[in-house]
């Protein structure tokens, strides 16, 4: 199983970063390997939104689709993704957006996955791993584009 976790500071607010990541419809515009995304269903509970979404990923001649259940919890500023169908035997990822005193936020990103086919793992495993490791940077660049570029202030160390 592949596991990747990072806590990444950004200059944008936790609310802005949550909104950006929760807007799954825009993913094909800026995320590596994602060619299409279709939200099949949207349900609302009192404080959460549940999406069933199918994402198509591709590289050169390889194309694959998978379906996930995405739980958007705006009050907690968390997003949880559970695997439903596709080329994985396991896929789970979590996002948390933690406000900082300087107006920026920390993105806490976790993903764990394994492919159901050894052959598919050999074909795209390394490529998928590289793409996943670029996601927080891709979202930060997208935030700069959508909300305007901001710089992080660094506290002086005296």
DSSP string, 117-144: -HHHHHHHHHHHHHHHHTHHHHHHHHHH
- Tell me the pTM: 0.86
pLDDT band at 118 (very low <50, low <70, confident <90, very high): confident
Which CATH code for domain 2-147?
A: 3.30.530.20
Name the average pLDDT for the chain: 87
Domain ranges of the chain: 2-147
pLDDT digits (tens, 9 = 90+) for 38-89: 999 999 998 999 999 999 987 777 788 899 999 999 999 999 999 999 888 9
CB atoms near residue 45 (< 10 Å): 9
> For residues 59 and 24, which has the higher predicted lDDT (pLDDT)?
24
- Going 115 to 38 to 14 to 127, the CA torsion angle's sign is positive
């Amino acid at each position: 199983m592949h596991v990747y976790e990072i806590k990444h500071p950004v200059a944008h607010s936790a609310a802005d970063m949550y909104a950006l990541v929760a807007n799954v419809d825009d993913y094909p515009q800026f995320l590596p390997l994602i060619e299409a995304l279709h939200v099949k269903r949207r349900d609302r509970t009192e404080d959460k939104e549940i999406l069933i979404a199918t994402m198509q990923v591709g590289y050169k001649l390889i194309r694959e689709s998978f379906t996930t259940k995405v739980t958007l919890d705006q009050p907690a500023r968390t997003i949880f993704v559970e695997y439903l169908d596709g080329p994985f035997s396991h896929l789970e990822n979590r996002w948390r957006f933690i406000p900082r005193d300087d107006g920026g936020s920390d993105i806490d990103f976790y993903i764990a996955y394994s492919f159901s086919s050894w052959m598919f793992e050999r074909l795209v495993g390394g490529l998928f791993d590289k793409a996943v490791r670029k996601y927080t940077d891709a979202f930060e660049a997208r935030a700069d584009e959508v909300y305007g570029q901001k710089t992080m202030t660094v506290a002086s160390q005296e």
